[in-house]
Structure 1
Amino acid sequence: MLIQSAFAAFRQTLSPPLRAILWKSLGLTLGLLVLVWFGLTRLIQWFQASHHISEQYPLLDTLAYFLAGFGLFVALAYVMPAVSILVAGFFLDDAAEIVERTDFPGEPAGRALPFGTAMLYAARFAGLTLLVNIGALIIFFVPVVGIAAFFAANAYLLSREYFEMAAARFRPLPEAAEMRREHAATTLAAGCLLAGMMVVPVLNLVTPLFGIALMVHVHKRLAGRLPAPAPTPRLR
């Protein structure tokens, strides 16, 4: 089921109906990453200037700039999951509606979440994801453990966020969360796929749109397996 959903999501991500949203998603993702990059570089420059590193230790200052450049790339990789969640929240309903309409034409379309609610939920979860990834970044240089922590944490967080946002178009958020817990193995496997994409340069930029399309398919397929609700008895 997951393989079929992944291929369908990839096809949708590059399809003409989603192409306009893809370019907007890429633009917003890159814009947010540039802002993060700018903020981190200013922070490094302030730290070096406030501690007079360049005046007292010129060689150390050069080394610090070199390490800062490498460190910024590493830091951006750990910030990327939070950025992805924010971008997904912004484009969720537009992208999900296209996927539902084109791949599930005979089924009822979902109901869009209020924009404020969707962004508040995405921002709250992006903040949690950022905190967790900062913790994972601290142990980055611990062999095996650092990478494993990054992958495991983001597989869970991305599976939770993307699935619940897709499912919330059809059911209240508490029910969406309960559905995710009931199908934890499937949703976590989808999260592993998204976490794997996060570590691949360029490919990670399309993760927000791909994640939406993927979880729309996963939710639809899981919902199709659920038993139909019992008919409501008529009053005589």
Structure 2
Amino acid sequence: MLIQSAFSALRQTFSPPLRAILWKSLGLTVGLLVLVWFGLTRLIQWFQASHHISDQYPFLDSLAFFLAGFGLVVALAYVMPAVSILVAGFFLDDAAEIVERTDFPSEPVGRALPWGTALLYALRFAGLTLLVNIGALIIFFVPVVGIAAFFAANAYLLSREYFEMAAARYRPLAEAAEMRRAHSGTTLAAGCLLAGMMVVPVLNLVTPLFGIALMVHLHKRLARRLPAPAPLTRLR
């Protein structure tokens, strides 16, 4: 089920119907990462200036510059999951509807969450993911443990966020969360796939759209095993 969903999601990610959303998703992802990079570089420059590192230890200036560059790369990798969740929140409903109409034409299309609710939900999870990854970053240099903590935490958080957002198009959020817990093995395996993509440069930029398509497929296939949920009546 997961492998079939993953291949279908990969096909959809680069398909013509989703191409416009893909470019928007890439643009927003890169834009947010540039803002984070800019903020981190300003913070490093302020720290160096306030502690007079260049004046007191000139030879450390070049070393600090090198380490700062390496640190920025590492920091951006740990920020990427939170950025991915935030980006997915912006494009979920448009992308999910295209996937539903093209790959499941005989089944009803889901209903979007109210925009404000969807945004708050994405912001909440993005904030939680950022906090968790800051904690994982603190233990980055602990052999094995740092990488394992990063992977495990993001596999869980990404599986939870992406699946519940996709499922919430068909059922209340509480029921979507319950469905995820009932199929925790499958959804967590999907989260492991997304977490793995996060550590691959360039590929991690398409994770938001791929994650949406993946979880739409996964939810559809899992939902076929369940009784049909009561129709949702949401105000747009």
Q: TM-score range by the shorter chain?
A: over 0.9
Contact residue 13 and residue 209 of structure 2 kept, 8 A: yes
Q: Offset of 1:189 from its aligned partner?
A: 0.3
Q: 1:230 to 1:27 in 2, by over 3 A?
A: closer
Pick the structure with greater CA Rg: 1
Flag the 1:87–1:2 CA change in 2: closer, same or farther, 3 A: same
Give the TM-score normalised by structure 2. Answer: 0.96
**Counterpart in the other structure of 2:48:** 48
* Pair 54,166 (structure 1): closer, same or farther in 2 beyond 3 Å: same
- Whether the aligned pair in 1 keeps the contact of 2:194 and 2:207 (CA below 8 Å) is yes
Distance 1:227 1:68, change over 3 A: same
Q: Which runs of 5+ in 1 are unaligned?
A: none
Counterpart Cα distance in 1 of 2:232 and 2:213: 33
In 2 relative to 1, CA 219–235 (structure 1 residues): closer, same or farther, beyond 3 Å? closer
Per-residue deviation, 1:227: 3.7
Structure 1 CA distance for aligned equivalents of residues 157 and 145 of structure 2 = 18
Mapped partners of 2:227, 2:57: distance in 1: 70
Change (3 A) 1:159 1:50: same
Alpha-carbon separation, structure 1, partners of 2:156 and 2:42:
32
Encode CA deviations 1:4-59: one digit per residue, 9 max, x unaligned.
00000000000000000000000000000000000000000000000111111111
Aligned length: 236
Runs of 4 or more above 3 Å deviation: 227-236
Deviation at 1:235, TM superposition (A): 29
CA distance in 1, matches of 2:64, 2:34: 21
The 1-side partners of 2:146 and 2:235 are apart by: 61
Unaligned runs of 5+ in 2: none
For residue 120 of structure 1, report the CA deviation from its aligned partner: 0.6
State TM-score, norm by structure 1.
0.96
CA distance in 1, matches of 2:231, 2:158: 35
Distance in 2 of aligned mates of 1:232 and 1:101: 18
Residue 213 in structure 1 maps to residue 213 in structure 2: yes
2:111–2:232: 8 Å Cα contact kept in structure 1?
A: no
Alpha carbon RMSD of aligned pairs, Å?
A: 3.9
Q: After TM superposition, give the deviation of residue 115 of structure 1 in Å.
A: 1.2
The alpha-carbon distance between structure 1 residues 18 and 175, as it changes in their structure 2 partners (threshold 3 A), is same
Partners in 1 of 2:85 and 2:232 — Cα distance? Answer: 39
Equivalent residue, structure 1, for 2:126: 126
SS of the residue 2:107 aligns to: coil
Structure 1 residue 114 displacement after superposition: 1.1
Give the direction of change, closer, same or farther, for the CA distance of 1:235–1:127 in structure 2 (3 Å limit).
Answer: closer
CA distance, structure 1, for counterparts of residue 158 and residue 165 of structure 2: 11
What is the rounded CA distance, in whole Å, between the counterparts of 1:59 and 1:116 in structure 2? 51
Aligned partners of 2:229 and 2:28: how far apart in 1?
Answer: 41
